[in-house]
Chains A and B, each alone.
Chain A
C-alpha cells in the first residue's frame, strides 16, 4: 500500500466489506476459542489457540498479537508496568471472567476486537456486561453529534462514574478508549510483533506525525490532542469497565464519515447477548 492513501476509505463499500469480513473472522475465532476454555487453561494457552486459529484462517500479520486476561486481570488489577498486559500463566477457574483481545491483519485489512466472557456464573460480570451496553449507544450518539473526542471521553468517564465502576481503558498505553485502524502495508516484514506488529507500529507512527500536523491524533483519549471532532475513518473503540476485580470490555470498528457515524457491524455476539438480555428482562 502506498503511504499516500488514507488508513481506510469510508466511502468505499467494497473495502468496508473486507473490514467487516476480518472483524467477523475475529469474533468467530473468539467464540470458538472461548468454547474451548475450561478450568485450568492458562492465558498463554488461550493466546496460542487464538494465534493458531487465525493463522489457519489466512491471517498474515498483527496489529498486536492476541491477548487474554483471566480473573482479576480482566480489570487490570495491580497493573503498573506494560509487560503485565502480556499473557501470563494465570489459570482459568469456575466463575472467572475472561477477556480475549485480538487484532489480526489479513491481506492488509485489519480489525481489532475485544471479547468478554465468564466461565460459569458470576453475578458481578452479568451486571457489568449489561451496563456496558449503554456505552455502545452513548459513544455512537456523541460521535454523531460530532462532539470532540476528548469530550466524548469525559462523557464516558461520567457514565462510568454514575454506574459506580472504574474506567479501565485508562490503563491502556496512551490511556486510549480507541485508535484508528486501516489498511496495513509498508516495506517492513509481515508477521513480526511482540506484541505490536512492526508494520502497524510503522503505520501508526506515520499517522501520529501526519495527524499531529492537522491538530489531530490517531489515538483517542481524554488529552488535549483529542480535542477535535471525530476524524473520518475506521476507529477501533474499546471502552473497558471494571468493578471489584471483574473487567468487561467490547472492542469493534466504528465507521466515522464526514457527517455521520455507524458501527461497522451490528451482527456481533455482544450485541445479540445484550438484546437477548433486554428481551428477557
Chain B
C-alpha cells in the first residue's frame, strides 16, 4: 500500500456494487491507462496474476472478483446474477478506480461474456476490448439460428461441435445437483483436470481455495442468463475496437463461434493461438503481449515493425488477403520455384524475405514482391553455412520479427553414376539440400516455438525423394532425407501449432537444370547434358508458378506431403503400390 507505483504490489480495496461488496485489486501507476481484467467461471481475479504482472509495468491494471466468486459477496438465488446486476457491478468498479476516463476491457470465459455485454451496452466507457474464449451470447444465439436455417454439412458439424462442448451448460441448468457436486469435493478433480487436460498446473491462488463455493455460486451466471439470451437474442453491436483471441484447442468454446462477427463489430481483429481454454494461464506472455499491442494500436502509440505487422494480420476486413500481415521467409528465392513462391505469398498480402546465394537475384525478387505485396527484403545467404544462417535468422528476427511461414527451398541438382560422385560432390549436395533445410528449420522453428503462436515450415523435397534412380544417387538421397526430416518434424511440432510440409515438385521448368552438376563428365559433355536436360524440362513446360500455388495451398490447408506434377503423383502412387516396379524403372539410365 505504501509504494503504489511498483507493478508487483497489489492494492486491495472493497467497492460497493449493486447490493454486494466487491473485492477489487489494483496494480501499476493509476495515472497510466486503465486495463480492466475480467475473470471467468469458476475462477477468481487470481487467474490473471501472470498477465496482470506483465501489464502492470505499462498500465494501471484493475481486477475484481465477480459476485459469487473469491472474496466478493455471494448473493443467493439466480435472480441476483443477471446481466443487469453484473453491469452495475462493473460500472461501480470503474467509477471507483478509473472515474471519467475510458478503460481498456479484457475478458476471459464468463468475464468475456460479461465484457461483450458491457462493450455493447456502454461502449462510451471503453477505449478497446479484448475477448478471450467467451462469446457474446446474443451472437451465438443468432449464429445458431442462422446455421439451423442453412443446415449445410459444415454448419451441422460446427453446430454439433459446440453442442458437445457445452455439456456442462446443460448440467448447470439442473437444480441443486451442480452445487452438490462442487461441494462434494469436485474441486480436487477440477484442479487435476486442469493440469492433465489443459497443461495448467495448480499454483497459489488458482484454482482458488474458495473454488467449491465459487463453483456452486457461479452456476447462477448460467441459470440467470444463458437460456434467456438463447431464446430471445438481442441485436448486439459495438463500435469499440475489438480483438478476439481464439484458442484453437479450446474444449469448451468452439473456434467457429466467431463466424459472422465482422457484421456486428466494424473494428474487429481476430487472433488464433494453438492453446486450450485456460490460455491466460498457459500462455500469459503471449496474452499480455497481444493485449498490449491491441491497446497501443487503438490508441495510436508507436509500434515496432513486428507489432504493426501482427495487428495487420489480425485485422478482419472483407477485402483482406489471406497472408496480410504475415512474414514469409523463402530461401533460394532468386529464381525458379523460390522466386515464384515468394511472389505468390506477396500477392496474397505477405511481407517477404527473399534469401539467395546470389544477392542480385534476391534483390530482384524483393523488387517484384514489393510490386505485389506490402514490403519485401532481400538477403544474401549460403544455406549450407551454419554461421551465416544463424546471422540471417537473427537479423530477420531483429528487423522484422518471427516469420509465420518459412520455405526452405534452396537446392542444387546433381546427376551421374554413384562411382562418379566424389566425396566433395556428396558434401556439396548434402550441405545445400539437407543441411540448408536443417539450419533453416532449426533456427526458424526455434523462433516460432519460442513465440508460441504457431507457424508453418515448407521444405522443398522432390519427386526424387520416392523415385529411386541410378542417375540421381546423391540428389535423390538428399531429397529423401528432407522428406523424412519433414515428416518427423511435423509429428514433433504438431502440438505447437507449427505445420510442416514437404513439397515434391517433379519435373518443373526452372534454371536448376542449367546449374546442375553432371558428374563424371568433362566440361563440354556437361554443357551438352545441361542443354539436353533444359530442353526436356522446357518441353515438359510445367512452370514454377504452378508449384508456388501448391505451396500456398499446402500452407493454408496444412498438408504433410504434396506431390505437385502429375508424374510426381504417379511416382508416389507406384512407389507405394509396387516398389518392385520402381526398382525396375530405377535401372533406366536417363543421364
Contact = CB atoms under 8 A, between A and B. Distances in A.
Contact of A123 (B335, B347, B371, B511): B371
Interface stretch (A10-18, A21-29, A161-169, A269-277): A161-169
Contact of A127 (B343, B361, B365, B371): B371
Nearest to A123: B371
A162 B358 CA distance: 11
A161 B511 contact: yes
A135 to B, nearest CB: 16
Contact of A243 (B361, B368, B511): B368
A244 interface: yes
A244 B339 CA distance: 14
A164 B368 contact: yes
A161 B335 contact: yes
A164 B347 contact: no
B548 to A, nearest CB: 12
Interface string B367-396: 110011000000000000000000000000
Interface string B241-255: 000000000000000
A164 B336 CA distance: 9
B364 interface: yes
Contact of B361 (A123, A124, A162): A162
A163 B364 contact: yes
B364 A164 contact: yes
Q: Determine the main DSSP class of A at the interface with B.
A: helix
Contacts of A123: 371
Interface string B335-357: 10001000100010000000000
A162 B347 contact: no
Contacts, number: 21
Interface residues of B, number: 12
A123 B372 CA distance: 9
Contacts of B511: 161
Contacts of B339: 164
Interface residues of A, number: 9
Nearest to A164: B368
Nearest to B367: A127
Nearest to B342: A164
B372 A164 contact: no
A244 B347 contact: yes
A248 to B, nearest CB: 13
Nearest to A246: B371
Contacts of A124: 371-372
A223 to B, nearest CB: 12
A81 B372 CA distance: 29
Interface in A178-226: none
Contacts of A244: 343, 347, 371-372
B321 to A, nearest CB: 14
Nearest to B335: A161
Interface string B229-273: 000000000000000000000000000000000000000000000
A184 to B, nearest CB: 35
Contacts of A163: 364
Residue from A123, A163, A164, A244 whose CB has the most chain B CB atoms within 10 Å: A164
Interface in A117-170: 123-124, 127, 161-164
Nearest to A128: B371
Interface in A82-100: none
B364 A162 contact: yes
Contacts of A243: 368
B289 to A, nearest CB: 34
A241 to B, nearest CB: 12
Nearest to A126: B371
Interface in A242-261: 243-244
Contacts of B364: 162-164
A129 to B, nearest CB: 12
Contacts of A127: 367-368, 371
B376 to A, nearest CB: 12
Nearest to B361: A162
A19 B70 CA distance: 95
Interface in B511-560: 511
A51 B511 CA distance: 43
Nearest to A157: B538
Nearest to A122: B371
A164 B337 CA distance: 11
Contacts of B371: 123-124, 127, 244
A163 B347 CA distance: 17
A161 B534 CA distance: 14
A164 B362 CA distance: 11
A163 B363 CA distance: 11
Contacts of B335: 161
Contacts of A161: 335, 511
A164 B364 CA distance: 8
A261 to B, nearest CB: 27
A127 B371 CA distance: 8
15 contacts: A123-B371, A124-B371, A127-B367, A127-B368, A161-B335, A161-B511, A162-B361, A162-B364, A163-B364, A164-B343, A164-B364, A164-B365, A164-B368, A243-B368, A244-B343
The 9 closest A-B pairs by CB, nearest first: A164-B368, A124-B371, A123-B371, A127-B371, A164-B364, A164-B339, A164-B365, A244-B372, A161-B511
Given A127-B371, A164-B339, A164-B364, 6 more contacts: A123-B371, A124-B371, A127-B367, A162-B361, A162-B364, A164-B368
